[in-house]
């Protein structure tokens, strides 16, 4: 056996003996994403336990609560890589178009006609940022103070049934610049 093959075989054998497996970049990335989602779900569990659930919105009350409106969330801390306060505006156009505006952001994404929202049963479903490739659905509730509470509605998610967003600022019309 030549020397380079012997070295490669020994490295592979040592990896197997140590109980490690070689992962592709895609596998590693998927594992990292899964772990991040699990950590986020743990934080969301705490929020869900500490927040009284409001009155569930039905198809009619959910549609009335968001159609033609912009829901705004303000955060003191921006996501990693961004500075200062962070503002997210989600606009639910009456025709079903979904527009997301984030400030500040590295990349200003123009509205995309393919970004959509719909009410399906008693769920708000969005196909657009942050996931333009599949519909993400939420159960919504109205808190006693008028805030809208967003609950993940995805049995495959570690955050299923957990409170993910509370929106207190809601106005008629498109996002403000």
The dihedral of CA 28, 31, 35, 41: what is its sign? positive
More confident residue, 92 or 43: 92
Task: Report in angstroms the alpha-carbon separations of 44 from 9, 26, 40, 57.
Answer: 45, 27, 6, 20
Q: How confident is the model at residue 112 (pLDDT cuts 50, 70, 90)?
A: confident
Residue 8 has pLDDT above 70, yes or no: no
> What percentage of the chain exceeds 90 in pLDDT?
45
Task: Assign 3-class secondary structure to 111-129.
Answer: CCCCCEEEEECCEEEEEEC
pLDDT tens-digit map of 149-161: 999 988 888 888 8
pTM above 0.75, yes or no: no
């Amino acid at each position: 056996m030549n020397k380079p093959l012997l070295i490669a075989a020994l490295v592979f054998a040592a990896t197997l003996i140590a109980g490690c497996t070689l992962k592709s970049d895609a596998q590693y990335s998927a594992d990292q994403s899964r772990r991040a989602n699990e950590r986020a779900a743990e934080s969301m569990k705490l929020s869900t336990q500490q927040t009284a659930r409001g009155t569930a919105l039905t198809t009619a009350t959910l549609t009335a609560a968001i159609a033609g409106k912009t829901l705004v969330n303000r955060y003191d801390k921006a996501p990693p890589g961004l500075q200062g306060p962070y503002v997210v505006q989600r606009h639910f156009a009456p025709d079903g178009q979904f527009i997301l505006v984030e400030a500040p952001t590295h990349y200003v994404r123009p509205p995309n006609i393919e970004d959509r929202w719909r009410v399906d049963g008693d769920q708000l479903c969005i196909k657009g940022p942050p996931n333009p490739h599949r519909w993400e659905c939420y159960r919504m509730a109205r808190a006693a103070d008028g805030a809208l509470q967003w609950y993940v509605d995805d049995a495959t998610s570690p955050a299923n049934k957990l409170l993910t967003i509370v929106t207190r600022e809601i106005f008629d019309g498109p996002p403000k610049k």
